[in-house]
Every structure is written in structure tokens, then in C-alpha cells.
């Protein structure tokens, strides 16, 4: 974990809720293996136990952990409660960050397992991937998400990352009709120009699905679009998570001025349960 321009003394300060909220929490970058394991346990609780994902066990990984091959290359951002006399510290939120240098070592971005990103090669030097975000069910409030995004924004400024990519997921419990309808609606107004468009490796068969349902965009996608993000291709189907994954790209140059001042508005708009994977 060497790519973040964040020494312990310059790491994001702890972000604490109002005194009336219970209990206080802090935002930290994982420094030890146990920090990462705590994030992986939270991810398992949310993605597998709560949302029904089917993950492939990795050799040597203890039960109850969501782990993939990219974890060892990523930085892991944690929201953690402060310990008390009767309660140990607990990781209640997490985001993982794959930096440009780490992506080179990993052989690519996680998104490349679902999409051909060839057209984005000119952006890679300053392109960071965000994913595997989740928050414990008892802490799904704007304050927790704001804490994550404040620290991410600080890291982006320090490291001069200009582009964010990720996959925003839409559940397919209805067989994919809602996802296809959402794609049909959003692609008409929020597609990136052709030079940034990518191709799904396992496309969702949108032409075989209904595309006329009135579907409200998930809060995550709505928040990204408000910030100036663009869809960069049709959705891919992720059979393990049973989701349709929409590829999104956000360039800091496209952010409205009010979002450059704070992550609060975006944080309040995002889905606190699941964001980019």
C-alpha cells in the first residue's frame, strides 16, 4: 500500500458525528491486514448475507470474507467506530481504491473484468477506480457516506487523480427488465461521447428485455449523474452478484463548482448500501 500520498500525519482527520448521535466514528486508511479483513467481513455481510451475492471462495481466505484478486493491490478506506469501555471498534463502512500505479501492477482495473476499456487508455495515468463500497445496515446515513467521500476527495486532490471510474449496479430480481428500462432512459441523456465509450464483455441482452418500465434511478446513479458523470457503455451482466452493471466515468473537470467545495451533496444522494463495485 504505497501509492497514496498520505502519511500518518497527513491522513484525513477523524470525522465525527454530532454529539447527539451514537457513537463517534473515525475515517482511516487501512494500514494492517486485520484492517482489510474487517472491511472484507463487512462486505460479506452486505453483499452475500444481505443482498444474496454468490462469491467464489479464494484459497486461504477464512469463511465470511468477501475477497477477490484485486484486494491486495487496493487501498482500503474505512469508517470505524471509536472503542468504548463495553464496545470494541467496529468497521461500519468501507470503500476500496485502485490507483493508477496499482492498476498497472494488477494488470488492469476491476472494471476491465466486465468491460473493454481500451478507449480510456489516454486517461489511465490519472484514473482511479472506486469500488466495493458498503455501509453497515445500522449506519446508513448521510454522515457515514459523507465521511467516506470527504476522505476520497482529499486523496484525489493530493494525488492529482482527475478521473474516476466504477460500475454502478442495478439488481436483476425481475430478470433484468428494470435495468434495461433504466439503461434506455439514461442513455438518451447521459451518454459520454463516442471516444470514451466501452464494450461489455458479457452484455445484458437489453434488446430481449422490456425497456419501457418507469424506473427511478438508484440513488447512487442519480448522485453520480448530478455530479456530471457519464455512462460509457451498455450494462454488463454480473451473474455472481445477479446485477446489471452500468459503467460510469466522472472527470473532475466536469464537476459543478458547488461539488468541488464539498462532497456533502453527492454523499447525501448516494445509495448508502451499495455503490460502485
Domain containing 255 — which CATH number?
3.40.630.30
274 belongs to a structural domain: no
pLDDT grade, residue 256 (50/70/90)?
Answer: low
For residue 272, the model assigns a pLDDT of 39
Q: Which residue in 97, 71, 75 sits closest to 2, CA to CA?
A: 75
Q: Stretch 197-217: mean pLDDT, rounded?
A: 95
DSSP category for residue 235: P
Structural domain includes residue 157: yes
Mean pLDDT of the chain: 83
Sequence-ordered list of residues with C-beta below 8 angstroms from that of 204, at least 6 positions apart, any chain: 176, 179, 180, 183, 234, 235, 236, 237, 244
What does the alpha-carbon distance between residue 21 and residue 231 come to, in Å, rounded to a whole number?
Answer: 37
Give a yes or no: residue 3 inside a domain. no
Q: How is residue 276 annotated by DSSP?
A: B
Averaged over 195-207, what is the pLDDT? 96
Query: Which of 221, 19, 245, 205 lies closest to 112 in space, CA to CA?
Result: 245
Residue 1 located in a structural domain: no
How confident is the model at residue 261, as a pLDDT? Answer: 53
Q: How many domains does the chain have?
A: 1
Q: Which residue range(s) make up the domain with 174? A: 8-269
What is the pTM assigned to this prediction? Answer: 0.82
Kindly state whether residue 276 falls inside one of the protein's structural domains.
no
Amino acid at each position: 500500500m504505497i501509492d497514496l500520498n498520505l502519511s500518518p500525519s497527513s491522513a484525513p482527520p477523524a470525522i465525527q458525528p454530532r454529539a447527539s448521535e451514537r457513537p463517534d466514528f473515525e475515517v482511516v486508511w487501512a494500514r494492517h491486514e486485520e484492517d482489510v479483513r474487517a472491511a472484507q467481513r463487512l462486505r460479506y455481510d452486505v453483499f452475500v448475507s444481505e443482498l444474496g451475492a454468490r462469491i467464489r471462495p479464494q484459497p486461504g481466505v477464512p469463511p465470511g470474507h468477501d475477497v477477490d484478486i484485486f484486494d491486495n493491490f487496493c487501498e482500503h478506506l474505512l469508517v470505524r467506530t471509536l472503542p468504548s469501555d463495553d464496545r470494541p471498534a467496529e468497521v461500519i463502512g468501507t470503500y476500496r481504491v485502485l490507483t493508477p500505479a496499482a492498476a498497472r501492477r494488477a494488470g488492469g482495473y476491476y472494471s476491465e473484468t466486465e468491460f473493454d476499456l481500451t478507449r480510456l487508455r489516454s486517461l489511465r495515468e490519472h484514473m482511479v477506480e472506486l469500488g466495493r463500497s458498503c455501509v453497515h445496515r445500522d449506519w446508513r446515513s448521510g454522515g457515514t457516506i459523507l465521511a467516506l467521500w470527504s476522505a476520497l476527495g482529499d486523496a484525489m486532490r493530493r494525488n492529482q487523480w482527475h478521473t474516476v471510474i466504477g460500475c454502478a449496479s442495478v439488481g436483476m430480481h425481475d430478470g433484468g427488465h428494470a435495468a434495461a428500462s433504466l439503461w434506455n432512459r439514461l442513455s438518451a441523456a447521459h451518454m459520454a461521447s463516442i471516444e470514451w465509450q466501452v464494450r461489455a464483455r458479457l452484455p445484458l441482452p437489453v434488446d430481449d428485455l422490456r425497456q419501457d418500465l418507469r424506473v427511478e434511478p438508484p440513488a447512487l446513479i442519480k448522485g453520480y449523474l448530478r455530479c456530471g458523470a457519464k455512462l460509457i457503455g451498455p450494462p454488463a451482466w454480473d451473474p455472481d452478484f445477479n446485477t446489471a452493471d452500468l459503467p460510469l466515468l466522472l472527470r473532475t473537470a466536469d464537476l459543478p463548482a458547488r461539488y468541488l467545495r464539498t462532497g456533502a451533496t453527492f454523499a447525501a444522494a448516494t445509495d448508502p448500501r451499495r455503490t460502485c463495485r
